[in-house]
Homo-oligomer: A and B are copies of this chain.
């Protein structure tokens, strides 16, 4: 609390990367006061003159995590699972929901009678049984009464608060009548760079109980679960009957360090798509169990379960149940039992592991791939779920420490609450069914997910253009995507299939190439090279990337003037015609990246040509499209347009050229994505591709025209992502009129991925308040009551574009890293006098911090994981012209000097986890 307060008092908004404008945060001056409640929303004028519809305090407020209560618990579904494992979600009330562990999405479906119930007995009192969940919330709809298969009919706690600090969720349950206080921490291990540790098919639940009464209390915690082996992962389930069930076996297993339920089925051969197992174990040794609830008509089974548990908190069955009859499975219960003396606390850990090694390609219609079986990476690493549980239990301390270290590092940073929330909550996308990790750690991903299927398949280049989190957290997986892009998806003419068919190598997706996606891939290859320093990787992929880049000269920029005029299919699922800066800046960025990569592999002639085309395009785009504050599209005459034939009809595609006219363009509009390529070039460290002044003015215009303070009067015939009093950035507007009769098909929508892209870009260009306002608007829409904070939707849930939120962190920190040059620099855009930020490189991660105080600036790198080798280190103070420099590693001095606005070390500094590099620059 006091720490946070201290930081609050020092919080500043930085206007531009050089000029520090001190704007004290409102309320920060009252030293020693209680943390102020969020002030009544107000607005202020940003240094750049924008209207910001929040108070400064609201924008700059810091909080280590987001806390929810009451109605805001309703939509929460916090995903628990690793990379490519699927997830089960923890609901805001503490319940389990959305069982998506069966290799596909499954929104809204739960395993019947799978819940945790507390049993408590105080001396001389009747025992009580309570489901460890907050109360149910209206509406209580249902033609036959409210749903009962989540044990809704049993007593529950009176309330709860949910704290979401991805990858950790905490629930504090409240019930004044109970002698014990109960809390839950749930997570799945997530350690940046460590793919194995971050891709375990397990959900870990730690229930903490404290006896707050004056008497000893006998307690039990019964975790009941359906043995769901044979479930197809998306059909409705009721009770314990399903066509796929049968020969289910549930066994109570007791080992030295774990005891639990081993849930299997004898019905399926190992190569069956439904083959799999689950394990529910605890590390608590004293456990009673029931491998199968008694059968019976009506509600007999559940009633008998309740009566048995209520009586004395134990179950008197052990051993094994099953194999079950065809179409039937068992419910089972695992019930750790213990006592607490007054004031005593105990933690009970459950590990719920699953193992469904095979998935089927159900999403493509191409006969070469449809129905093919694909093996999950975890399926190759583990024999069954019990082995997963055993591994996770044995490594629990290490895994949790690594995960906590990561979260702590994130929280140590100076990110305002909404940014921390946007960055950390949306990392979860990597670990939902949007993504898969196949054998050999090959990473594939949908754009997002429909309720019970992925949508749309796979590795869509233009959607994944926006993503930055995977590249920075798990760069080896990001590189596997580049290998797929360039080694699998390039056609002989250099055009790229912008969706991937798996298994790869059998067929390519047949559709016209996407100009934005294809150019983006070149930029992203540059990023992967810069983050990894892997020259072999670059040399392997470069010849293909070169073909992809130069494909532009066939169709899009046939006159090689650096401006795309041809038919440009893009992320709006339509084609743009004529020059526009959205494709244009991606093309320019790709040319710049191409120049650098060509030079790195010794292709100087190619590098020079890319530079020539770049220079031509940069000048021409700006000259032709800049129009009073932002860039427009020049839509050609319909007769001049050449429409590429589509080899494969897609249901979502409609030609933009219709009966001799061109629709679905933006023309004179102010497009939020108009500087997409500029943003990406900035993120990957390529700098400006258009004149900096125009870039900044354009971003101001986008904020002014496209950021809506409410949606009451925004007629939208398209899809709906913002409503009523919500705020958000629309994809396009026409402030000067001339809106086309039918503009591009998503123009009136609000996409979080684009909001993050624009917000980060605003921050990069010093328009910090604007960027924070856009970010806060997004997260306010995902408030737990309106929508799930851990599921930003666009064309599907857990939509990959939202992974752009990572660039908010890199923008605020002014982070830039080049592994080939062993250079790491920061240029904080808030609170330079006391700034900190999490950072990653290809080989390590940690916390950067800097302080500026009375003529002295100092900075430090705390490497928390991995290793890092540096020749240059830059931060806020290194823009100075000189000064006395003191550099140390773990206190031992290093020889260093100021050069090109960085600290240049005489010898490369090698840091390993736990090392601290410090640099101090004093005034001359």
Does A741 sit within 8 A of B, measured CB to CB?
Answer: yes
Which of B138, B721, B742 makes the CB contact (< 8 A) with A146? B721
A654–B145 touching, CB < 8 Å: no
A148–B719 touching, CB < 8 Å: yes
Stretch at the interface among A449-457, A701-709, A884-892: A449-457
B715–A139 touching, CB < 8 Å: no
Q: Bound state CA distance, A714 and B152, in angstroms?
A: 11
In A118-166, the 8 Å CB interface with B consists of 129, 135-136, 138-148, 152-155, 158
Identity of the chain B residue whose Cβ is nearest the Cβ of A138 in the assembled complex: B786
B793–A145 touching, CB < 8 Å: yes
Identity of the chain B residue whose Cβ is nearest the Cβ of A795 in the assembled complex: B144
Identity of the chain B residue whose Cβ is nearest the Cβ of A450 in the assembled complex: B143
Stretch at the interface among A300-308, A479-487, A606-614, A678-686: A300-308
A787–B140 touching, CB < 8 Å: yes
Q: Bound state CA distance, A721 and B147, in angstroms?
A: 10
Q: Bound state CA distance, A155 and B748, in angstroms?
A: 13
B-contact bits for A707-738, CB 8 A (1 contact / 0 none): 00000111111111101100000000000000
A749–B785 touching, CB < 8 Å: no
Residues of B within 8 A of A408 (CB): none
Does A688 sit within 8 A of B, measured CB to CB?
Answer: no
Does A75 sit within 8 A of B, measured CB to CB?
Answer: yes
Does A807 sit within 8 A of B, measured CB to CB?
Answer: no
Residues of B within 8 A of A654 (CB): 297-298
B143–A796 touching, CB < 8 Å: yes
A793–B144 touching, CB < 8 Å: yes
B-contact bits for A91-129, CB 8 A (1 contact / 0 none): 000000000000000010000000000000000000001
In A33-84, the 8 Å CB interface with B consists of 74-75
Q: Bound state CA distance, A884 and B691, in angstroms?
A: 106
Q: Bound state CA distance, A718 and B149, in angstroms?
A: 10
Does A674 sit within 8 A of B, measured CB to CB?
Answer: no
Which of B138, B785, B793 makes the CB contact (< 8 A) with A143? B793
Q: Known contacts being A144-B795, A145-B720, A303-B717, is A74 close to B139, with CB within 8 Å?
A: yes
Which of B107, B141, B155, B713 makes the CB contact (< 8 A) with A155? B713
- Nearest CB in chain B: distance from A92 CB, A: 12
Does A745 sit within 8 A of B, measured CB to CB?
Answer: yes
- Nearest CB in chain B: distance from A872 CB, A: 45
A299–B793 touching, CB < 8 Å: no
Does A672 sit within 8 A of B, measured CB to CB?
Answer: no
A145–B74 touching, CB < 8 Å: no
B140–A715 touching, CB < 8 Å: no
Does A797 sit within 8 A of B, measured CB to CB?
Answer: yes
- Nearest CB in chain B: distance from A596 CB, A: 39
Residues of B within 8 A of A183 (CB): none
Residues of B within 8 A of A716 (CB): 153-154
Q: Known contacts being A158-B712, A716-B154, A724-B135, is A449 close to B143, with CB within 8 Å?
A: yes
- Nearest CB in chain B: distance from A435 CB, A: 16
Does A448 sit within 8 A of B, measured CB to CB?
Answer: yes
Identity of the chain B residue whose Cβ is nearest the Cβ of A726 in the assembled complex: B140
B793–A306 touching, CB < 8 Å: no
Q: Bound state CA distance, A794 and B143, in angstroms?
A: 7
A718–B155 touching, CB < 8 Å: no
Residues of B within 8 A of A742 (CB): 296, 300, 303-304
Q: Bound state CA distance, A723 and B158, in angstroms?
A: 12
Identity of the chain B residue whose Cβ is nearest the Cβ of A574 in the assembled complex: B298
Identity of the chain B residue whose Cβ is nearest the Cβ of A748 in the assembled complex: B153
B75–A139 touching, CB < 8 Å: yes
Q: Known contacts being A74-B139, A148-B719, A742-B300, is A155 close to B712, with CB within 8 Å?
A: yes
Q: Known contacts being A129-B715, A148-B718, A715-B155, is A143 close to B303, with CB within 8 Å?
A: no
Residues of B within 8 A of A306 (CB): 715, 717
Identity of the chain B residue whose Cβ is nearest the Cβ of A573 in the assembled complex: B298
B-contact bits for A775-808, CB 8 A (1 contact / 0 none): 0000000000111000001111100000000000
Residues of B within 8 A of A304 (CB): 741-742
Q: Bound state CA distance, A714 and B719, in angstroms?
A: 44
A718–B142 touching, CB < 8 Å: no
- Nearest CB in chain B: distance from A331 CB, A: 13
Residues of B within 8 A of A135 (CB): 723-724
B717–A302 touching, CB < 8 Å: yes
Q: Bound state CA distance, A793 and B139, in angstroms?
A: 13
In A378-417, the 8 Å CB interface with B consists of none
Q: Bound state CA distance, A142 and B85, in angstroms?
A: 23
Q: Known contacts being A139-B785, A143-B107, is A720 close to B455, with CB within 8 Å?
A: no
A717–B299 touching, CB < 8 Å: yes
Q: Bound state CA distance, A299 and B746, in angstroms?
A: 9
In A259-317, the 8 Å CB interface with B consists of 296-300, 302-304, 306-307, 310
Which of B136, B723, B748 makes the CB contact (< 8 A) with A723? B136
B153–A717 touching, CB < 8 Å: yes
A715–B154 touching, CB < 8 Å: yes
Output the residue of A143, A297, A663, A787 with the most chain B CB within 10 A: A143
- Nearest CB in chain B: distance from A823 CB, A: 42
In A486-533, the 8 Å CB interface with B consists of none
- Nearest CB in chain B: distance from A447 CB, A: 11
In A791-847, the 8 Å CB interface with B consists of 793-797
- Nearest CB in chain B: distance from A328 CB, A: 15
Residues of B within 8 A of A449 (CB): 143
B723–A146 touching, CB < 8 Å: yes
Q: Known contacts being A307-B741, A717-B153, is A724 close to B142, with CB within 8 Å?
A: no
Q: Bound state CA distance, A658 and B136, in angstroms?
A: 35
- Nearest CB in chain B: distance from A364 CB, A: 19
Identity of the chain B residue whose Cβ is nearest the Cβ of A719 in the assembled complex: B145
Residues of B within 8 A of A787 (CB): 138-141
Which of B140, B143, B664, B717 makes the CB contact (< 8 A) with A448? B143
Q: Bound state CA distance, A654 and B797, in angstroms?
A: 43
Q: Bound state CA distance, A720 and B451, in angstroms?
A: 27
Q: Known contacts being A75-B139, A145-B720, A787-B140, is A745 close to B298, with CB within 8 Å?
A: yes
Residues of B within 8 A of A450 (CB): 143-144
Q: Bound state CA distance, A796 and B145, in angstroms?
A: 8
Identity of the chain B residue whose Cβ is nearest the Cβ of A310 in the assembled complex: B715
Which of B138, B455, B720 makes the CB contact (< 8 A) with A152? B720
Residues of B within 8 A of A300 (CB): 663, 742
Q: Bound state CA distance, A723 and B712, in angstroms?
A: 35
Q: Known contacts being A298-B745, A299-B717, A715-B155, is A140 close to B451, with CB within 8 Å?
A: no
Q: Bound state CA distance, A144 and B718, in angstroms?
A: 11
Residues of B within 8 A of A139 (CB): 74-75, 785-787
Q: Bound state CA distance, A451 and B450, in angstroms?
A: 24
Q: Bound state CA distance, A749 and B742, in angstroms?
A: 56
- Nearest CB in chain B: distance from A259 CB, A: 27
Residues of B within 8 A of A718 (CB): 148, 153, 299
Residues of B within 8 A of A144 (CB): 450, 719, 793-796
Which of B136, B141, B143 makes the CB contact (< 8 A) with A455? B143
Identity of the chain B residue whose Cβ is nearest the Cβ of A713 in the assembled complex: B155
B145–A299 touching, CB < 8 Å: no
- Nearest CB in chain B: distance from A133 CB, A: 12
Output the residue of A74, A136, A718 with the most chain B CB within 10 A: A718
Q: Bound state CA distance, A450 and B307, in angstroms?
A: 31
Output the residue of A136, A139, A141, A664 with the most chain B CB within 10 A: A141
Q: Bound state CA distance, A300 and B135, in angstroms?
A: 45
Q: Bound state CA distance, A526 and B742, in angstroms?
A: 69
Q: Bound state CA distance, A148 and B298, in angstroms?
A: 40
Besides A136-B723, A145-B749, 10 new A-B residue pairs in contact (Cβ under 8 A), listed by A number = A142-B793, A144-B795, A145-B793, A148-B720, A152-B723, A298-B654, A298-B664, A300-B663, A303-B742, A304-B741
A-B contact pairs, 27 of them (CB 8 A): A75-B139, A129-B715, A136-B724, A138-B785, A138-B787, A139-B785, A140-B720, A140-B786, A141-B787, A143-B455, A143-B796, A144-B793, A145-B749, A148-B717, A152-B720, A153-B719, A154-B716, A154-B717, A155-B713, A297-B654, A297-B658, A299-B717, A299-B745, A300-B742, A304-B741, A304-B742, A307-B741
Q: Which 4 A-B pairs have the closest CB atoms?
A: A297-B654, A153-B716, A145-B719, A146-B720
